[in-house]
Amino acid sequence: MKRSRANAANFLALIVDDEADILELLELTLLKMGLQVERASTVKAALQKVQEQEFDLCLTDMRLPDGEGLEIVRYIGANCPDLPVAVITAHGSTENAVAALKAGAFDYLSKPVALDQLRAVVKSALKLPAAAVPSAPEGYALLGQSAAIQQVSELIEKLARSQAPVYVTGESGSGKELAARLIHEKSARREKPFVPVNCGAIPENLMESEFFGYRKGAFTGADQDRDGFFQAASGGTLFLDEVADLPLPMQVKLLRAIQEKKARKVGATQEDPVDVRIISATHQKLADCVTSGNFRQDLFYRLNVIELKMPALREMSDDVPLIAASILARLSRLAGGAAPELAQDAIEALQHYDYPGNVRELENILERALALCGGARIHKDDLYLTGPAEDDDPASHEPGAKWPLPDYLDRVEKEALQEALEKTRYNKTAAAKLLGITFRALRYRLARLGID
């Protein structure tokens, strides 16, 4: 049974290191924070203490006289899922830090140990909810009972108990930001900000100041100090969407901030500590971007510590009725009316549709159906889904034909998008501005219509 956590004196930490001065520093710091402390200087001694006592936190060095700290990390992960363990690595040892996080470590600290970072790690670890009692964040949920979505849900629960960087992959519209929010909301950082950043929507000349902030007078127009994304997400989670769109110079600065856990504002003379968890995502294959030279390999390994793959909607056809019903209920609630029922022919049509735009496209289809259906039930014809197998009217293939209406509207929209991209020399940010839509809306439309 877990001890009462009414106050800090009820917390017991295990610190593992073979260097007396490091042990002394760790113990004094934790005692000042109100924790009780047990020491160990070998892998064998540490494992014996874990077997005999119940701890709330473990801090271990990577290199010990009789083995590696990873042995302790793996043992705790397999036998004590409620016990967060952080590792202490040699300065600049990126490989060891990544290996520890992949093995299940909650977080890592670099030597020489910075006391502010140590305190931040300890506080975060002690805020973790018990693994046996999954939290249910209000407003965010992954719907479905398919094997694919259940596997994602289970992994999210595990990732929420770590500080490791997570790389979320999946097609456009598959719910990558939702997954990132769920990881944040179920984690020890849940009371701090979740800051989403669209890396492809920031002009290159503004990136450094947007990410790290700036000091007053750093450049023309900087009339006061301003925080960047890292400062805004302090203590919380920074979600980097479309991270593959970052230019190479910015990738270097981001890598340093992640490795050193420090950031320098534009115009500042010194770096300040930053405490954020990084979750990144892209619909591109980041490994291919590394191969082509458009993405730094060292940053890729830093971001891709743990990969979370979001399934495409076509892989979850059995879940489509549940997801569709939830979307209809939300759209109807916003419109101030009762949600119409999906007729059986509509359900079957939705289950057999391919969804190039995934859940985002399903929402678009249902929003259109909600506006066009005339009764309390949505039928197949209200969905306006067309495909090669259903389109047997030769007239619909005539150039300029205005029927079926969805096909005609798609052609018009595609032409407008292509023209805007050509006028702006394929600068998507400028094209979105020209079209009078958001960058996110432009990206969705390009994906839906298959425009690269």
| pLDDT (tens place) for every residue of the chain, 452 residues total | 344 444 455 799 999 999 999 999 999 999 999 999 999 999 999 999 999 999 999 999 999 999 999 999 999 988 988 899 999 987 656 677 788 888 888 888 888 888 888 998 898 888 876 543 444 444 567 888 888 899 999 899 889 888 889 999 998 889 999 999 999 999 889 899 999 999 988 988 889 999 999 988 878 777 888 899 999 999 999 999 999 999 999 999 999 999 888 899 998 888 898 999 999 999 888 999 999 999 999 999 999 988 999 999 999 999 999 999 999 998 888 877 788 899 999 999 999 998 888 998 899 899 888 887 767 889 998 888 865 434 445 554 455 566 666 677 778 888 888 888 888 878 888 888 888 888 777 887 787 777 86
Omega before 404 cis (within 30°)?
yes
| CA separation, residue 66 to residues 15, 62, 241, 295 (Å) | 16, 11, 42, 39
Q: Which CATH superfamily is domain 399-452 in?
A: Homeodomain-like (1.10.10.60)
Q: Which CATH superfamily is domain 8-126 in?
A: Response regulator (3.40.50.2300)
CATH 1.10.8.60 fits 313-385, yes or no: yes
**For 147-309, which CATH class?**
alpha beta
Contacts of 194 (CB under 8 A, 6+ apart): 180, 181, 184, 185, 233, 236, 237, 239
> Where do the structural domains in the chain lie, given as residue ranges?
8-126, 147-309, 313-385, 399-452
Q: Do domains 8-126 and 147-309 have the same CATH topology?
A: yes
- The pTM assigned to this predicted structure is 0.72
Contacts of 322 (CB under 8 A, 6+ apart): 143, 144, 145
